[in-house]
Structure 1
Amino acid sequence: MPLREPTGATPGRRPAWALASLVVLVLLIAATATPAMAQRQPGALGAGFQVGRPGGLALKWYRSSSVAYDGIVSTDGDDFLVGHVHRLWERPIPDSPLHLFAGPGMVIGPAQLAQSPRLRLGLSGEVGLNFYAERFEVFLHVTPVLRFLPNTQVAVDGNAGLRYYLRFP
């Protein structure tokens, strides 16, 4: 299944059971995580994937224990390539293995690659929850986007994903 960002026409609908299954899986894993497993060290680098809109390669780099940079690269291999970059502030939720994160960002990338490429550019924000299990991070977030090139468009994207931390200083 190609990773295609829906256009303004008639976006395809994913089956409700697929999204419900993913949410149940994330909640089950969150219930088994313990706060002692949390890993948020300066310099930590995580790589993985996310599903949703847009789905694709998900990277995260911690500058300090509470500040990270999050990047997403997505393409359908034919018509578009898009990147999302966010600066995130992360805080643990008291008495819980979950962390809350939020921050501003931007969206950039070419569209209509098969024809004459047009630049997509916009501002975005990201708000979500995550938890850590050893070297893995499971996350769920919502990303409101205000795209102003090539045309003005407002969208709310949602994603769930998994990252593996490659580097711990």
Structure 2
Amino acid sequence: MRNSIRSSLTIALFTFIFIAMTHQVSAQRQAGDVGLGVQIGQPTGVSLKIYNPGASTDFLAAWDWDNFLFLNIHAIFDASLNDAHTIHFFYGPGGFIGIHQNPGNNKIDLGLSGNFGLDFLIQNFEIFVQATPRLSLKNTNNFNIGGGAGFRFYF
């Protein structure tokens, strides 16, 4: 299972780099625009981003393959990597709350997380690849890294 996820993320990353290097278009995001899309990876879920030039807000309502449902929220800062402002490096702090669903024994988890990655804009469409390190503070004090690739459409 993990090898197929790594393979998918590797393919997505190389596709992202290829697209970013071969397209010269201008980005069209404006302050207050809302991006809605999906992330596929570890975790898989629905992504919502409220764009602002200073600090955007990023939400991910997601599920993990081992019966873990959770919500991530991050403040996202970005820096343009090219003159056309279509490729960005982003990073930011955040947190998560989650529910481990086991028959007769549901546990609530809570912790700190970060988010960093790359995004590529084509008009109102964004493709992204990201990693999300998470530190659980409630039940287990364990550290893990999630991440994925996805897209958002801004309106």
Question: Normalising to structure 1: TM-score of the pair?
Answer: 0.80
The alignment of Structure 1 onto Structure 2 pairs a total of residues equal to 153
Q: Identity of counterpart residues, as a percentage?
A: 35
Task: Work out the CA distance in 2 between the residues paired with 1:58 and 1:33.
Answer: 24
User: Residue 96 of structure 2 aligns to which amino acid in structure 1?
Assistant: V
Task: Work out the CA distance in 1 between the residues paired with 2:8 and 2:65.
Answer: 23
Q: Who is 1:89 aligned against?
A: 77
Q: Who is 2:19 aligned against?
A: 29
- Checking the alignment, whether the CA contact within 8 Å between 1:101 and 1:129 is kept in structure 2 is yes
Alignment of structure 1 residues 66-105 onto 2, 5 Å: 66-75=54-63, 79-95=67-83, 97-105=86-94
- Checking the alignment, whether the CA contact within 8 Å between 2:77 and 2:92 is kept in structure 1 is yes
Q: Who is 2:101 aligned against?
A: 112
User: Residue 112 of structure 1 aligns to which amino acid in structure 2?
Assistant: Q
Q: Which runs of 5+ in 1 are unaligned?
A: 1-11
User: Residue 129 of structure 1 aligns to which amino acid in structure 2?
Assistant: L
Q: Which runs of 5+ in 2 are unaligned?
A: none
2:8 is the alignment partner of 1:18: yes
Question: Normalising to structure 2: TM-score of the pair?
Answer: 0.87
- Checking the alignment, whether the CA contact within 8 Å between 2:115 and 2:133 is kept in structure 1 is yes
2:116 is the alignment partner of 1:127: yes
Q: Against the structure 1 CA distance between its residues 127 and 76, is the aligned structure 2 distance closer, same or farther, given a 3 Å change threshold? A: closer
